[in-house]
Copies of this chain bind each other. A is one copy, B any other.
Amino acid sequence: MARDQVHYFGAGPALLPSEVIEQAASDFVCYKDNGIGLGEISHRSGDATAVINDAKSKIIKLLEIPDTHEVFFGQGGGSGGFAAVVMNLSAAYAARTHKKGKVDYFVTGSWSSKAANEAKRLGLEVNLVLDPKLVPRGGKKFGAIPPKSTWKFSDPKETAYVYYCDNETVDGVEFQTIPDVPEGVELVADMSSNFLSKQIDVSRFGLIFGGAQKNIGIAGVSLYIIKKSLLTSLPPAELIQLGIPVVPTFLDFQEIVKNNSAYNTVSIFAVRVVELNMDYLLAKGGLKVQEAQSDRKAEKLYEAIDKYPQLFKSPVEKDCRSRMNIVFNIVGDGAEEQFVKQASAKGLTGIKGHRSVGGIRISNCKYKSARPIAKL
């Protein structure tokens, strides 16, 4: 099937506008007057630096990022981010206090669970903000965000950061507002899967990060937005003495920023895809428009799910349903398989639930389909 015959609802990697994909493919063969493509030019050439700078400035414009924050591109995807957060922000806390801080994690689904485990693995003392007994729903491990009155934070003075995942792709759980955390504590958000789907107040975050392959671009690059005051550390030997894991240089936020995201060979092609995608979003009216579209698409689906309870079951509480990943079950033996099959015949693909939880998952591309689907 050709591009205009399919609509893909995968959770990530995800669909990108055809205009973006086609321009990127052309740039991969030959970029400007270089006679070579974006996979081949030096990451420190003038044209490569311009791609990085333009992508950054368009992200700043789209998200209205204040001067207090820095944007950069990292490697290792979201999972790389789990480790990079632990090491960089523990070091920043140690630079302020000469202590090893505790870390607080909201665990609301598979991804924040993995992130918390990474912190433990690397030797941090992890406090769970949410009571694990209060998060399961409908026979699934996750599906609820318990009320604020039940949240338990560590002593703010001893806390390196509070971490949460804004949207859980596997479980379909999304924070509807930024969680309130104790004053003076830095808030870290994994927005891998809902970045650019809504307006956000960046000033409230110490760090926002995400793999690019959902809403931002393609795999091979990840996006970081960090409060500049957190770009600080101690010498590695001092960190080791405090029992803080030393960050490898290529994941060191200070080194990456100092080298304009090109400490080592960043994929200029992947950054170019980000840049083109930002052009597309800016031309389509920015995040206000994306937010309205995402909300409307999600509402339509949840409406249908709730209207036919004899057919559909949603395992997620209404107050934390994801606008990005609408997960549900279909009642009846073999009904889900049949649904997937029939949808596929109509060019609607990528709708199977994550292998760990099963069911159906419709992931909203943040884009209005760039081109109409030929036959439905």
By a beta-carbon cutoff of 8 Å, the part of chain A in contact with chain B is 1-3, 5-6, 8, 10, 12-16, 18, 21-22, 24-26, 28-30, 33-37, 39-44, 75-80, 82-84, 118, 121-123, 211, 213, 217-221, 236-237, 240, 243, 245-246, 248-251, 263-270, 273, 347, 349-350, 355
Contacts and interface: CB of A to CB of B under 8 A. Distances in A.
Among A237, A264, A266, the most chain B Cβ lie within 10 Å of the Cβ of A264
Contacts of A211: 264-265
Contacts of A83: 248-251
B264 A35 contact: no
A2 B347 CA distance: 37
B79 A13 contact: no
Nearest to A80: B250
Given A75-B75, A121-B246, A8 B28 contact: no
A256 to B, nearest CB: 11
Contacts of A246: 121-123, 245
4 tightest Cβ-Cβ pairs between the two chains A and B: A6-B35, A83-B248, A220-B220, A39-B218
Among A44, A121, A265, A349, the most chain B Cβ lie within 10 Å of the Cβ of A265
Given A13-B268, A122-B236, 4 more contacts: A24-B28, A39-B218, A76-B264, A123-B237
A116 B39 CA distance: 29
Contacts of A263: 79
A30 B28 CA distance: 15
Nearest to A15: B40
Given A75-B80, A248-B80, A265-B219, A6 B34 contact: yes
